Amino acid sequence: MRSDRRGRLKGLYVITDPRLGGGHIQGARAALQGGARIIQLRDKEATTRQLIEYAHALRTLTREYNALLIINDRLDVALAVEADGVHLGQDDMPVLLARRVAGEELIIGVSAETVDEAIRAEVEGADYLGVGPMFTTATKPDAGMPIGPERLREIKQHVSIPVFGIGGITLGNAAQVLQAGADGLCVISAILDAPNPMETTQQFITLLSMHPHTPHRK
């Protein structure tokens, strides 16, 4: 049920990158072995056929670990592989239309940089927000200027759905994001580009466990 899935939208959220961690599958496996329970497939260069192949493999892997699988941008791919959700940017399909196509069961996440974007996403039916970039990030070349934890704090005060901080988050600055009220952390290179992604995942989860408002549940 969507309500059950939505209750799992907290803690550590790892986004795959074809250039890091040995690729989508290897990187996701390491993160899942370390305790992550939300994985997003993101690949701006892959063909639709390739995305579906990656997504099918990740769907099998995430089910093995009782984890959520979110597909970036592509509602069609999410539906094709029976993923748990889709994540939409401000230039992607509007939430209202995505909900009409996908129905009530699919999780829909939305990227937001401003309070107005966040409020609109919630009103239109989004289940969670990815707010950022928190800090400077090289993983997403088209990311805007960092908005910082204070903007996340402001957004958190205006919405009731879960809010994840994203963009340049590391073990060294993650506490700032959590102290601003984030329900979870979206992490890419700090885990996938680490010498030992599984061990780094475990360190992030330990950090999350120290903040009572963001319990990490397996």
DSSP lists the bridge partners of residue 94 as none
Of 59, 12, 58, residue with least CA distance to 35: 12
Radius of gyration, alpha carbons of the chain: 16
Catalytic residue, from 10, 29, 37, 42: name it.
42
Amino acid at 172: G
Report the alpha-carbon distance of residue 130 to residue 88 in Å, rounded. 9
Report the alpha-carbon distance of residue 39 to residue 29 in Å, rounded. 10
140 in catalytic set: yes
Catalytic residue, from 10, 29, 111, 151: name it.
111
Catalytic residue, from 140, 151, 156, 189: name it.
140
Whether 71 and 43 have beta carbons less than 8 Å apart is answered as: no
Whether 78 and 48 have beta carbons less than 8 Å apart is answered as: no
3 in catalytic set: no
99 in catalytic set: no
Question: How far is residue 96 from each of residues 85, 91, 123, measured CA to CA in Å?
Answer: 15, 14, 9
- DSSP-H helix ranges across the chain: 2-6, 24-34, 48-64, 75-80, 95-102, 115-124, 148-156, 174-179, 189-192, 197-209
Residue 201 token pair: 């995942």
Active site residues: 42, 111, 140
